A and B are shown apart, each in its own frame.
Chain A
Amino acid sequence: MEALRFNGSGSEYFKIWIVNILLTIITLGLYYPWAKVRTRRYFYGNTTLSNRNFEYHATGKQLFVGFLIAMIFFIIYSFLGQVNPPLALSFLMIFLVALPWLIWRSLMFNMKVTSFSNVHFSFKGTLGRSYMIFLGYPLLFFIFISLIGMIVSIMIPSLGRSSFMPIVAILLGMGIFTGYLFLIAFLKKNSTEYLMNGSRYGQGKFLTKVETKQFVILLLKSIGLSIVPVAIVSFFAQFMIHSSLLSNAEFTFILIYFIMIFMMMFVMAFYVTREREYVYKNTIFDDKISFSSTLKARSLAWVMLSNFFLIVVTLGFAFPWAKVRVAKLMLANTLVETDNGFDEYLSQKEAEQSALGEQIGDAFDVDVGVAL
């Protein structure tokens, strides 16, 4: 097993970052796609495994049209969100219908423009599957829940004020919670497999097999862990309000905000590291190359927390160092079985694609929800 390496440095990326911002300012934002390409090229190019590096091949020109469309949609959406939230919501609905397509396009494009050791990745997942996972299953679930809700609301009059009512309510609440938990876990499993099993490196295929059950356990653990910060925060909030030591609402709010962020970072770090570990362990490439993650929740939480402080204290100017620190930590804890080498892999021929999906998806922060 060999770990990935990140060879870039915070100070070097800082220079690239600040020039990117400068040019974006000068061009009133139009340079953004080129800036993004430069950032990606820098991060991919500095990522190495056995002294072979990754490469990002997209050009600013490829991303530009998608970027413009995304910006226009985003501006309309954020304005609507402030003026007329219901209208913004219906706008979002249209977006949700297009989302599976965007994810699919985005995956195909991004895989295609990424290479490792001179060989390109590709994505062979189907559009239909994307619609099933990102729209079909959630929709089916909510239809199911609404049906139950309807049945219950019809039954309520007949139950009347009987002593069953609280029990029914509790059971219903628990049922919905459990159902929702299973849905999330089920979607995690499916989106992870969709992404991984659709991915190709040269002629080689990735194979990931994960179970819904494991995601349920992980989610339950994380929820259990996040109850701790909520309890601590509410305890402190009570204390602060009642002791009238700090009865200033705004001050209390800021304090709670910070405590909440710190606590949630730990929970996030816990979830991310465990999910990563589980997915990597159950992934194999081309029947012979295995993966493993050695990332510890403690180290991730520490990097996140210290990064947060760095960024706040420097008004955002420490962002490049923060980003490099995360990359270094993540990659150093990603192990790949390299005994067989990669010499046998060959790029496969691909049809040309536009980057439309990629940028629209990016502007709305589409996340497939896989920890890689």
Chain B
Amino acid sequence: MIDGHWYPKGSALCLHATLTVNDLGRYAIEVEDGTIFRGDVSFLSISARLGNIERKITLENDSTFTTLDNNAIDLLFKDTEKVNAFIHHLETHGKSIFMALIITFFTGFSFFKWGVPYISKKIAHVLPYQTNELISAGSMTFLDKYLFDESNITKDKQDKIREHFKKVLAPLSFNDDTNLHYKIHFRSWEMDGEKIPNALALPSGDIILTDQFIELSSNQEEIDSVILHEMGHVVHRHSLEMLIEGTFITVAVMMISGDGSGVGDMGVGLGSALISSSYSRRHESEADVYAFNKMLIAKIDPASFSAIMNRMTEYMNMNDNDMNKTLNDSEIMDYFSSHPNTKERVKLANHYSECFKEGLTVCK
């Protein structure tokens, strides 16, 4: 005998009732007011089991019998819906929960670690070249308006660098993408009275060198190494990749937290920031490797890259104290940084430099 309640069709009137089923598959529902409903169990429809929420059995006359005695119901009636029985089985067995946990964890991890970058890379390279121009349209005007000032580098020096680029560096990228046309720009970039040494690349192939960068560089090879690094970004279509990765993260985050009560949403912001800075670090390393390989071909010592990188970092840290340096080199901060640890980059540069000294053009 199963204890429960009985409701008339579409009514909130709630009466105590009991359900019994005999060996012949006939049921009897006895309501407290004396009414008895009898019939064949095959005419009852039973709601699907979920956790321990109240089970609802709908009779032929659309009145309902409800009970919290889920186990008794499961014993009496085989779950009519095979799919639900299977899902409920998954939900109640330690082994499958454990498996689900492991699978979820590793799928989630691999999805963000490898899946998103891989798919984004594929999509970025499948899209027509025009997409690059589409996404950089207006960027130069925007940067000029809000960030950059006119360069103070003499016309003579600018022409010399451009000439050198055309003769030495541009030929290196002939096999990359026939649509690519690089253009070198010189700009001055100041923030809070501090001149910023940097180099940027737009997806369209526009490479911007700041005055302070040119000033810090001690020779042509150092300038070349940085330009090659930027070319690496362009060839690998990193900007486009970032856009697609960003879209993936947004959609994934929506699917994960969309169901939430808004509590977890705030942690999600931090999480996605962590993930995207990890992608950006990967892009930097890729651009580095591109630059090093081209440098070997062009007979430029990859050590010049670490030389200029070190000088730029030192320049930026000039006003900072030791405390900051330890923080900068600490492993925790690595996760939040959009650039790979300088130590790692220098190590790789040195490795390539050794190949260079041995006269190799390919380095493992």
Contacts and interface: CB of A to CB of B under 8 A. Distances in A.
Contact of B12 (A14, A84, A119, A246): A119
Contact of B327 (A14, A18, A251): A251
Q: How big is the A interface, by class? A: 35 or more
B337 A52 contact: no
A307 B264 CA distance: 8
Contact of B11 (A18, A21, A322, A345): A345
A46 interface: yes
Interface in A330-372: 342-347, 362-363, 365
A116 B51 CA distance: 19
B170 interface: no
B317 to A, nearest CB: 10
Given A46-B51, A323-B261, A248 B333 contact: yes
B90 A19 contact: yes
B263 A304 contact: yes
Contact of A250 (B101, B258, B336): B336
Contacts of A311: 263-264, 267
Q: Is the interface of B mostly helix, strand, loop or mixed?
A: helix
B341 to A, nearest CB: 13
Contact of B50 (A21, A38, A347): A38
Contact of B54 (A53, A83, A246, A304): A53
Q: How big is the B interface, by class? A: 35 or more
B266 A82 contact: no
Contact of A13 (B12, B51, B100, B247): B51
Contacts of A120: 10
Nearest to A304: B263
Interface string B8-21: 00111110000000
Contact of A316 (B87, B99, B264): B264
B270 A257 contact: yes
A97 to B, nearest CB: 22
B250 interface: yes
Interface in A81-140: 81-84, 116-120
Contacts of A296: none
Contacts of A16: 50-51, 91
B10 A118 contact: yes
Interface in A229-273: 244-248, 250-251, 254, 257, 261, 265
Interface of B: 7, 10-14, 50-54, 56, 64, 66, 87, 90-92, 96-97, 99-101, 103-105, 107, 134-135, 243-244, 246-247, 250-251, 254-256, 258-261, 263-264, 266-267, 270-271, 320-321, 323-324, 327-328, 333, 336-337
Enumerate the 7 nearest inter-chain pairs by beta-carbon distance, A residue then B residue, closest first: A45-B53, A347-B10, A118-B7, A22-B100, A345-B12, A78-B250, A82-B243
